[in-house]
Chain A
Amino acid sequence: MSKAFQKDTQAQKNLNLIAKLESDNETKVFEGMTTLVGMMSQGYEVLEFFPSVVKLVASSNLKIKKLVYIYLDQHAELNPDLALLSVSTFQKDFQNREQLIRALSLRVLSSIRVPSISQIILLLAQQAVNDSSPYVRKTAALAIPKVYGLNKDHEENLIELVSALLKDKHPMVIGGALAAFNQVCPDKFELLDEHFRKICSLLVDCDEWGQIIAIKTLLRYSRTQFVDPRLFDSSEESDHMKSGGDETNFFSTDSEEEKPEEAEEKESKKPKYKMDPDHKLLLSSTIPLLKSRNSAVVAEVCNLHFYLAPRSELRVIAKALIKLTKREAPVQYVALSTISTISKKFPKLFSSNYKEFFVLQPEPLYIKTLKLSILTQLVGLANVYALTKELRAYVKSENIQFVICAIQSMGQIASHMKEVRDTCLTILMNLISHKSQKVAGESIVSIKKLLQQNVDEHMDVMKHLTKMIDIVVEPSARSSILWLVGEYCHKIPLIAPDVLRKLAKTFRNETNIVKLQVLNLGSKLYLRNKEQTEKLFEYILTLSKYDTNYDVRDRARFIRLLLVNPKSKLDKSKLEKIFLSEKPLPLWNDNDETSEFVLGTLSNILKIRLSGYQELPEFPEVAPVNETRNNSTYGVKKNESSKRKSKKHRKRQRQLAKESPFFEDEKFWEESGSGSGSRSYSGSGSYSGSGSYSGSGSYSGSGSGSGSYSGSGSGFFSGSGSGSGSYSGSGSYSGSQSGSHSSNRKNVEKNPKSGSASYSGSGSGSGSYSGSRSGSYSGSGSYSGSGSYSGSGSYSGSGSYSGSEQKQSNQVNSEKENSKNNLLDLSELVMFGSNTNTNTNTNTNNNSSTQISSLNFTSNSNYQQSSVKVEFPMKTLVQKSREGGVDINYRISRTPSLHPGYTPIRLYIKNNNRNPVKNLNIAEPVPDNIISFQPISNLNPNQSYQTILYINFNSKTQPISFQIKSESELTNCRITPTTGELLIKPLSFDENEFDNEVSKLSGMSALKQQLQSLESLKPQEITEKIIEIANVYQVNSKEEKLKFVAKTGSSDMVYIIIDSNTLSIHSSNQFMIHLISKDIKNALKN
């Protein structure tokens, strides 16, 4: 009754509130909204007010509007249809003069998690990136991950936005941009190249949260760019580190122990190492941040130095971390965990500060135990006595849990430091009579372990223990003592039988576990010393026979049958094996989590792998040459400006804004242009042979994006990289790549601003290339099927095939697997090669001295002659790695299809989950136009898999939808083909026939257009671009024209001719002409 009444009043209240919200009086509306927000903050269900609130969004009163925004922010996704009504208001607000309102509207709009508006948010974000207010730009940066979360299709656009934002020189924006980078494309490190120095120097001016993100990102970036400085630590230094203070550390980890063995090797390397100036810059520019009041910033700097700095420079962070331990308990907790992890690796770093880790009585348990584990790691000759003294005080604590930890530490210390072993044993012995069973048990366990290590030295302890049997009442302690006596009864031949005698007397009153141990002791003595104990043992067995507990009776019967029964067929040696077997030495649980988590993560604290946890990339063996970063002039500029800054540092932002763009220097362009010219020759040479592809494997290893590889991939690369000299081709390959970059840059030099944009765009292209490469490597097992493609000779580049063979023969030490991979790679590359190419290729491979001339030959002949390799962008189908799921990428494969009319789609599946994924397949019902792959029965964590899916697009560019299901989840997928992908490439085509057919198609069946953008492109680049967007065959032409041909799904031929700046397309299918010309124009524009 009363409940119903309450409900009524609540309903009444709600009605009143709605009345207020819909009132004309702004004050009332405001009151209503305030109440509503108050209700939200208490977790009330306020969805029913949605219609009333959404009307208010257009209110001209900003205070009301703001509250409405707060409401929408939280509830829009629950009522997407109504929420869409408000979108136009947001768009209008975004044009407001006031930066706060622009930012607010963008922020709230982007927080509405309704997928259908992702396009709108994207558009606004694109505008906001160029906003005059850094606050708005930052908001735009933060909107990027939200759009990404809503709709992965925008990935490319978003990456563009990220790279535009990274160019920003405002410290406020940098943090946001890097946050977006981390969410959208955390492995596209090449985007950071040119901004690295800028970020380093702006770091101090960023806000604290931005600093955290920036340091995290720079750490990961640097791990891919620089070599491990600790590899080069001079052996003297490492000796110093180890023996400093002579407190040899007994807990040093493997890595340290390996040191001396590698020392010689390092000695030879030593003179070579000089720290990269950028590496140095990063380290030095983060040091001031150790003074931040934000402990998270300090901790991140410490992590960065722990992973990047040479060993000798780690003192700074030790000091900073110790200071953090003086803060309030939660900060102290994290700081101590960090120290614990670091000191495991470098105990020396903290050992002089061991007093800082002494436990104080009022501290909470989690602090105390952490401190104990650190103290245990820091023990050395210099401090062992002080530590033991401390521990002696700790074991007196009233907190049982803490005492147990202290006992364990004491045991560990005593087992490693024989100086204090006796003292510790005494302390532990006193604890046996502790009132708490757990403490007594733990101390006996520790004593047991210590005695087992070296029992002969401690016979006195042993004897003392046997005396304790009269005093100790605690059953677990008694039984432990009995076990020890039994185990070492031969070493105390006089005492052991006496102990048995005593126990025989009290046997009836003992607890069960003690009785069992008495039986155990008796049987051991019976075997060792039959004369003295036979009678006693017989007595005990008889007592046990009538015991109330059947475990005891059972044991007694078992022992009697084995030992005493005359019918027992076992001889003495076998019995000794059973009863007196050698026990293995006990292990001290060093709490060694074999899988150490990266510092500064929740996973490290909790010792569980959480979702979103990122491994640190491993250092590369050889630092990649990074011209982009080296060419970024920021460092120099910064120095200049810092002089100004010192005068008027408050105006630093405005100054930075005034600074000229990075690549203003005309000379710089020219230089890079000419440089690329010479390189591109050798580059084209290596294109022609697939030998160079094996090289290109190593290229990408040494290239910019090695960080993006999965572990196995990079391992393979580095292996092949060190293979042999014949790989030198790889260098030239990368040279050509950068050559084409720089020529790109040259094209756009008229407009320096957009110039650098397109530059970084092409950079990202190479990134995705290498990414795909690693994919194909890792799944090489599943590739055997695709090997047959290359065998079928569908690769018009027969030259390329033979090229690879020659490569193989040249390469004495070439691994089989390696070459196999080369072949397999072909399935992902489009090869255009003629016989002349094969020739040049042979030359290149056989005789490197003729390389240059033959390459010159290549470049002098028609452009079409050189083979063109194009990477097809990999697209994302499913990305769930953030939640720890399965990632599926796909690429429309241009291999001939096994199923006529169907387009093969190559799927790259990777399981990022922690659990295996089972029965991955296309969900039933499989659409008619799809031929599914074989179900994947099991995909282990981090395992990759490739398979092929066939889809009949029916010559339409409409998206094909289907679902992929696994045992645990169901995901919607969509594949949209581009026009170019729907074409089918003929295996060969004669030029005469081409000209013939083209001449027939005119009028409506032909299209001719002048393209301005063509002038600036080299024919080579045009070819690349066209092949990238469309599956066409390039006809060998004698003229200075580019000719391409392909077939549509409905068997109409499409002919494309590019002659200087004219594009002409001929086909009987006019619709196709229209579509293709649009695509080509788009492609060539960029």
Chain B
Amino acid sequence: MIKSLFILNTGGDIVLEKHWQGRTGRNIITQFWKEITKENRTKDLPPIVRIRRQTIVHLRKYNLLYLIVADQDTSPLLFIEFLNRVIEVFSNFFSTEPTETSLKENLPKAFELLGEMMDNVFPVTTETSMLRDMIGATMKSTPNTIENSKKFGTLSSDQVGGLPWRRKNIKHSPNEIFFDVIESINATIERSGKCLSSEIISKIVCESKLSGMPTLTMVFNNSSILEDVSFHQCINLDTWERRKILDFVPPDGAFELLSYRSNRMQTQIPLYTSGRFNWSKKKRKGKFEIILQVRNSLIKSIDNVSVLIPLVRGCSSPAIKTSNGAVFFNDQTFELKWEIKKMPKNNEISMKGSIKLPNKGEIPREKPVAIITFSIEGLCMSGLKVTNLNISKLKKKIFKGVKFISKSGNFTLKF
């Protein structure tokens, strides 16, 4: 089970350490750091490694490296999910992303949180709202509150009962709740423009500012889209199984309500892409061309399109012509980036050009790929719609809204 947690910065220095069962020496961290910096393995070191007869599970987020040292065998995903929760709770409590700076500012709080989240070796309270009640007040260190704090957090019976994700007596004015349906399109496109594989990975995130204990029901036009779905704890599984509607008491603030995966797309992928890339042996050059076009069927506009081509080390002197947008070449990372702020409708745009290979060395066998990013507001690729959203137990006027965004996920063009 989990013995210790270390958080390192990008330089390998320990920012925070927490031990639940005895103390783990720092040697293991030194050893680990050697391992991860060896031959630039930062990316390729598996998330679970064995060092000095201990198991280390690590993951990186916001430029911090979270390390769990474990001595007993248990579910590997338990460690990973626990770390995810730690990061989630941190960002809720720091009201900003847990970066090195924000973590250092909040060290005592972070330490106390970690103490509450795990008892002995067993994760216990990982819900932000419940944690807020347990320690939220403790850390406000203005003298006035100190003198009078003979009381500290209380747990409402509902939280202990069945709703650990929501506190009692929440008050908001105005009362509002907004949902964002964010669909990411993963696709691999051949150079001819043919789609090799595609899928939609989507999530519904929610920003809730409602008073009291409201119960929400949400009905979709086509629940079969949500066949492969993961729910937030607050969603009543019984009701979903029986009636295919969502029934839940939302947590307060921002949270991810559900996520789903679907292979079915209602429309074509809205952005047509094709292109080619060749390494020329004689000239020691790479020649390429990329074409983008908005599909006619799309009514909405596509914004912030970018095409990124990671090239071989040592490439230089790009010579490029484009019909629209701007091209940048980063000579540190050897990445070529084409950015288009606004896609024109009805006509295709293209980028054409060449890049020099270094004078020595082999001609690469592998062609690069183009990673394409874009986002379309107001479009839902899967065709999911919210047909009804009911909020009970709340008499006041409520602002509610659902917004759809489709964007690229892992969207690559293979030359």
Q: Measuring CB to CB, which residues of chain A are less than 8 angstroms from any residue of chain B?
A: 26-27, 30-31, 34, 37-38, 40-43, 60-63, 66-67, 70, 73-74, 77, 98-100, 107, 110-111, 113, 133-135, 138-139, 142, 145-146, 171-172, 176, 179, 204-205, 207-209, 212-213, 216, 288, 291-296, 298-300, 319-320, 323, 326, 328-331, 333-334, 355, 358, 360-362, 364-366, 393, 396-398, 435, 600-603, 605-606, 608, 610-614, 642, 645-646, 649-650, 652-654, 882
Instruction: Give chain B residues whose Cβ lies under 8 Å from the Cβ of A111.
Output: 119-120
Instruction: Give chain B residues whose Cβ lies under 8 Å from the Cβ of A600.
Output: 75-77
Instruction: Give chain B residues whose Cβ lies under 8 Å from the Cβ of A326.
Output: 186, 199, 201, 261
A60 to chain B, nearest CB (A): 7
CB atoms of A605 and B155 under 8 A apart: no
CB atoms of A31 and B73 under 8 A apart: no
| CB-defined A-B contacts under 8 Å, sample of 30 | A30-B146, A42-B17, A42-B107, A62-B152, A63-B137, A63-B138, A66-B152, A70-B112, A100-B153, A107-B119, A135-B155, A208-B81, A208-B233, A213-B122, A288-B241, A291-B231, A293-B233, A293-B256, A296-B80, A323-B230, A328-B59, A330-B47, A396-B366, A600-B76, A601-B73, A603-B73, A606-B50, A612-B73, A646-B239, A650-B215
CB atoms of A207 and B164 under 8 A apart: yes
Q: A293-B232, A298-B230 given as contacts; is B149 within 8 A of A41 (CB)?
A: no
Contact with A along B17-49 (1 / 0, CB 8 A): 111001000100000000000000001111110
Instruction: Give chain A residues whose Cβ lies under 8 Å from the Cβ of B134.
Output: 100
B236 interface residue per 8 A CB criterion: yes
Instruction: Give chain A residues whose Cβ lies under 8 Å from the Cβ of B358.
Output: none
B364 to chain A, nearest CB (A): 7
Q: B residues 333-366 with Cβ under 8 Å of A?
A: 362, 364-366
Instruction: Give chain B residues whose Cβ lies under 8 Å from the Cβ of A653.
Output: 161-162
CB atoms of A133 and B74 under 8 A apart: no
Instruction: Give chain A residues whose Cβ lies under 8 Å from the Cβ of B26.
Output: 43
Nearest neighbor of A610 in chain B, beta-carbon distance? B73
Expressed in whole angstroms, the Cα–Cα distance for A77 and B123 within the complex equals 22
B124 interface residue per 8 A CB criterion: yes
Q: B residues 47-104 with Cβ under 8 Å of A?
A: 47-48, 50, 55, 57, 59, 70-78, 80-81
Given A67-B108, A209-B124, 20 new contacts (CB under 8 A): A27-B143, A41-B110, A61-B146, A62-B149, A62-B150, A62-B151, A70-B115, A74-B19, A133-B160, A291-B230, A291-B231, A319-B228, A326-B261, A333-B47, A334-B48, A334-B76, A398-B366, A601-B74, A642-B238, A650-B163
CB atoms of B141 and A333 under 8 A apart: no
How many residues belonging to B are interface residues under a CB distance threshold of 8 Å? Answer: 98
Q: B residues 227-245 with Cβ under 8 Å of A?
A: 228-233, 236-242
CB atoms of B107 and A293 under 8 A apart: no
Nearest neighbor of B80 in chain A, beta-carbon distance? A330
Expressed in whole angstroms, the Cα–Cα distance for A1041 and B268 within the complex equals 92
CB atoms of A435 and B44 under 8 A apart: no
Most buried by B among A61, A63, A606: A63
Q: B residues 152-169 with Cβ under 8 Å of A?
A: 152-155, 160-164
Q: A42-B16, A63-B146, A294-B81 given as contacts; is B75 within 8 A of A212 (CB)?
A: yes
Instruction: Give chain B residues whose Cβ lies under 8 Å from the Cβ of A608.
Output: 50
Expressed in whole angstroms, the Cα–Cα distance for A1063 and B39 within the complex equals 81
Expressed in whole angstroms, the Cα–Cα distance for A30 and B143 within the complex equals 9
Nearest neighbor of B232 in chain A, beta-carbon distance? A293
Instruction: Give chain A residues whose Cβ lies under 8 Å from the Cβ of B138.
Output: 62-63, 66-67
CB atoms of B72 and A882 under 8 A apart: yes
B327 interface residue per 8 A CB criterion: no
CB atoms of B73 and A361 under 8 A apart: no
CB atoms of A37 and B112 under 8 A apart: yes
Expressed in whole angstroms, the Cα–Cα distance for A611 and B53 within the complex equals 10
Q: A133-B160, A134-B160 given as contacts; is B77 within 8 A of A295 (CB)?
A: yes
B311 to chain A, nearest CB (A): 11
Expressed in whole angstroms, the Cα–Cα distance for A208 and B197 within the complex equals 34
Nearest neighbor of A135 in chain B, beta-carbon distance? B160
* The residue from A135, A179, A361 contacting B122, defined by CB atoms under 8 A apart: A179
* The residue from B72, B108, B312 contacting A41, defined by CB atoms under 8 A apart: B108
Q: A291-B230, A292-B231 given as contacts; is B155 within 8 A of A100 (CB)?
A: yes
CB atoms of A66 and B135 under 8 A apart: yes
CB atoms of B72 and A611 under 8 A apart: yes
Expressed in whole angstroms, the Cα–Cα distance for A291 and B241 within the complex equals 11
B249 interface residue per 8 A CB criterion: yes
CB atoms of A361 and B412 under 8 A apart: yes
Nearest neighbor of B242 in chain A, beta-carbon distance? A646
Expressed in whole angstroms, the Cα–Cα distance for A115 and B19 within the complex equals 19
* The residue from A293, A366, A614, A646 contacting B230, defined by CB atoms under 8 A apart: A293
Q: A330-B59, A606-B48 given as contacts; is B81 within 8 A of A142 (CB)?
A: no
CB atoms of A73 and B115 under 8 A apart: yes
- Interface pairs A-B: 4 shortest CB-CB: A612-B72, A296-B77, A330-B47, A41-B111
Nearest neighbor of A97 in chain B, beta-carbon distance? B154
Most buried by B among A364, A613, A654: A364
Q: A139-B119, A355-B197, A603-B73 given as contacts; is B59 within 8 A of A292 (CB)?
A: no
CB atoms of B238 and A645 under 8 A apart: yes
Instruction: Give chain A residues whose Cβ lies under 8 Å from the Cβ of B153.
Output: 100
* The residue from B141, B161, B256, B365 contacting A31, defined by CB atoms under 8 A apart: B141
* The residue from B46, B112, B115, B120 contacting A333, defined by CB atoms under 8 A apart: B46
CB atoms of B160 and A612 under 8 A apart: no
Instruction: Give chain A residues whose Cβ lies under 8 Å from the Cβ of B261.
Output: 323, 326
Expressed in whole angstroms, the Cα–Cα distance for A844 and B80 within the complex equals 62
Expressed in whole angstroms, the Cα–Cα distance for A652 and B163 within the complex equals 11
* The residue from A99, A295, A393 contacting B80, defined by CB atoms under 8 A apart: A295
Nearest neighbor of A113 in chain B, beta-carbon distance? B22
Expressed in whole angstroms, the Cα–Cα distance for A139 and B125 within the complex equals 11
B408 to chain A, nearest CB (A): 14
CB atoms of A602 and B76 under 8 A apart: yes
CB atoms of A323 and B228 under 8 A apart: yes
Nearest neighbor of A603 in chain B, beta-carbon distance? B73
Expressed in whole angstroms, the Cα–Cα distance for A30 and B74 within the complex equals 38
B241 to chain A, nearest CB (A): 6
A142 to chain B, nearest CB (A): 5
B210 interface residue per 8 A CB criterion: no
B36 to chain A, nearest CB (A): 12
Expressed in whole angstroms, the Cα–Cα distance for A45 and B155 within the complex equals 34
CB atoms of B237 and A204 under 8 A apart: yes
Instruction: Give chain A residues whose Cβ lies under 8 Å from the Cβ of B78.
Output: 209, 212, 296
Instruction: Give chain A residues whose Cβ lies under 8 Å from the Cβ of B161.
Output: 134, 653-654
B306 interface residue per 8 A CB criterion: no
CB atoms of B73 and A611 under 8 A apart: yes
Q: A41-B107, A42-B17, A326-B261 given as contacts; is B75 within 8 A of A601 (CB)?
A: yes
Instruction: Give chain B residues whose Cβ lies under 8 Å from the Cβ of A179.
Output: 122
B367 to chain A, nearest CB (A): 8
CB atoms of B238 and A649 under 8 A apart: yes
B164 to chain A, nearest CB (A): 7
Expressed in whole angstroms, the Cα–Cα distance for A311 and B78 within the complex equals 27
Expressed in whole angstroms, the Cα–Cα distance for A63 and B199 within the complex equals 51
A571 to chain B, nearest CB (A): 52
B310 to chain A, nearest CB (A): 8
Q: A37-B111, A296-B78 given as contacts; is B141 within 8 A of A611 (CB)?
A: no
B273 interface residue per 8 A CB criterion: no
Expressed in whole angstroms, the Cα–Cα distance for A398 and B334 within the complex equals 15
Expressed in whole angstroms, the Cα–Cα distance for A139 and B76 within the complex equals 24
B48 to chain A, nearest CB (A): 5
Nearest neighbor of A598 in chain B, beta-carbon distance? B73
* The residue from A139, A208, A212, A333 contacting B48, defined by CB atoms under 8 A apart: A333
Instruction: Give chain B residues whose Cβ lies under 8 Å from the Cβ of A393.
Output: 414
Instruction: Give chain B residues whose Cβ lies under 8 Å from the Cβ of A613.
Output: 73
Q: A100-B153, A296-B81 given as contacts; is B47 within 8 A of A142 (CB)?
A: no
Instruction: Give chain B residues whose Cβ lies under 8 Å from the Cβ of A138.
Output: 124
Q: A66-B135, A212-B75, A331-B80 given as contacts; is B48 within 8 A of A605 (CB)?
A: yes
CB atoms of A602 and B119 under 8 A apart: no
